[in-house]
Amino acid sequence: MVKRANNCIVSQCDGHQYARRFCRMHYSRWLRHGDPLIVISPRGKSGTGHITTDGYKVVSVNGRSVFEHVLVAEQVYGGSLPKGAIVHHVNEVRDDNRPENLLICSRAYHVALHTRMRARAACGNPDWVRCWICKTYDDPKRMYVHSSGSGSWHRHCFNGKYLLARRSEYRHRKRLAAAPASSKANNG
């Protein structure tokens, strides 16, 4: 076989030259890896995959990319997961997709689970909650917990640091609004 002048210089490749006498595919491989012949991950074959930047395994199934932990959970569940279901890794290792390490749960339960895990790691008690002002964990009996569950804080934190900051900001705005227009022009 005689290669034509406008074909890729890689043997047995009939692609048209794109740059540096390579076709588009071999040129992109050369740019990425320094070798136009290297093949890192063949796409489209079932069972092949990669690990995402977040640490999750992704596999190709019938030409479609799927998270491996979701695939394993669906196999154990016996069908596709309910809408809104989340697969939680019990040991928090994202690429450990053994069935005994996976838990299917709702979004609300998943959030509560991680909140309790953070509390246990920070203070040793999963029932304690975090004050959003001073950022420390404490017994919810010693704190004000908002009725909607959207936040909790120590009363002394709220009355001290937070409330004083809000009052001084209010007084500052009030002083600026009360200042005569001429003095604002001179100061600005």
For the chain, which residues make up each domain, given as ranges? Answer: 1-37, 49-105, 127-177
Is this model's pTM higher than 0.95 or not? no
What burial letters (b/e) apply to 97-114, b meaning 16+ CB within 10 Å?
A: beeeebebeeeeebeebe
Which residues partner with 104 through β-bridges? 87
Rounded alpha-carbon distances, angstroms, from residue 59 to 94, 103, 120, 180:
14, 20, 33, 68
pLDDT of 56-91, one tens digit each?
A: 999 988 778 899 999 999 999 999 999 999 999 999
User: Checking DSSP bridges between strand 144-145 and strand 152-153, what pairing results, if any?
Assistant: antiparallel
Radius of gyration of the chain (CA): 30
The tokens for 21 are 């006498």
What span, in angstroms and rounded, lies between the C-alpha atoms of 44 and 29?
18
Q: Is the pLDDT of residue 95 over 80?
A: yes
